[in-house]
A and B are shown apart, each in its own frame.
Chain A
Amino acid sequence: MPAKKSAGARFEPASDQSLLVYFGEQITLEANENVRRLLHLLEQEPIPGVDNLHPAYCSLLVKFAALKWRHQELERQLRKYLGRLNNVRLPEPRLVEIPVCYGREFGPDLDEVAAMHGITPERVIELHTSATYLVYFLGFVPGFAYLGELARELVTPRLLSPRRKVPAGSVGIAGNQTGVYPFETPGGWRLLGRSPLAMFRTDRDGLCLLSIGDRVRFVPVSRERFAEFERA
Chain B
Amino acid sequence: MKVIEVLAPGLLTTVQDLGREGFGPMGVSPSGAADPVALRIGNRLVGNAAIAAALEMTLLGGTFLFPEGALAALTGSDFGAALDGADRLPWASFEVKPGQTLRLGATRSGARCYLCLQGGIAVKPFLGSASTHLLSGLGGYQGRALRKGDVLKTGDSDGGPNRTLGTNRCKKVTPKILEGLRPRKILRVTPGPQRGWFSQAAEKVFYGGTYGVSEEANRMGLRLHGPPVPEGAHGGMISEGVSLGAVQIAADGMPIILSVEQQTTGGYAKMANVISADFGSLGQLRPRDEIRFRRVTFETARKLLMEQEKLLTAKDSIVETI
Contacts and interface: CB of A to CB of B under 8 A. Distances in A.
A87 interface: no
Interface in A168-195: 182-183, 185
Nearest to B270: A14
A215 interface: no
B236 to A, nearest CB: 8
A61 interface: yes
A16 B21 contact: no
A208 interface: yes
B276 A54 contact: no
Contact of B193 (A13, A16, A143, A183): A13
Contacts of A54: 24-25, 240-242, 264-265
B238 A13 contact: no
Contact of A140 (B21, B192, B265, B306): B265
A137 B27 CA distance: 9
Interface in A30-46: 39, 43
A16 B302 CA distance: 7
A130 interface: no
B33 to A, nearest CB: 16
Interface string B238-257: 11111111100000000000
Contacts of B13: none
A139 B126 CA distance: 19
Interface stretch (A65-73, A93-101, A110-118): A65-73
A67 B305 contact: yes
Contacts of A20: 193, 240-241
B67 to A, nearest CB: 31
Interface in A200-232: 200, 202, 207-208, 211-212
A194 B266 CA distance: 24
Nearest to B194: A12
A25 interface: yes
B190 interface: yes
Interface string A120-149: 000000000000000001111111101000
B24 A53 contact: yes
Interface residues of A, number: 48
Given A13-B193, A15-B246, A55-B24, A141 B135 contact: yes
Most buried by A among B27, B126, B239, B309: B27
Contacts of B135: 141-142, 183, 185
Contact of A66 (B23, B138, B264, B302): B302
Contacts of A59: 238, 240-241
Contact of B24 (A63, A200, A202): A63
A41 B78 CA distance: 47
Given A139-B263, A141-B135, A185-B135, A61 B25 contact: no
Nearest to B20: A52
A208 B191 CA distance: 34
Contacts, number: 150
A67 B265 contact: no
A71 B299 CA distance: 10
A54 B239 CA distance: 11
B207 interface: no
Interface string B262-278: 01111000100111100
B26 interface: yes
A57 B238 contact: yes
B301 interface: yes
Contacts of B190: 13, 15-16
A137 B263 CA distance: 13
Interface in B279-313: 298, 301-302, 305-306, 309
Given A137-B265, A139-B265, A144-B27, A56 B270 contact: no
Contacts of B192: 14-15
A107 to B, nearest CB: 23
The 6 A-B pairs at the shortest CB distance, nearest first, are namely: A61-B241, A54-B241, A139-B265, A15-B273, A16-B301, A15-B243
Given A52-B22, A59-B238, A211-B25, 5 more contacts: A14-B193, A15-B245, A20-B193, A61-B240, A61-B241
Interface of A: 12-18, 20, 22, 25-27, 39, 43, 51-61, 63, 66-67, 70-71, 137-144, 146, 182-183, 185, 200, 202, 207-208, 211-212
13 contacts: A14-B243, A16-B298, A20-B240, A54-B242, A57-B238, A59-B238, A63-B24, A67-B309, A138-B25, A138-B26, A139-B263, A146-B239, A212-B25
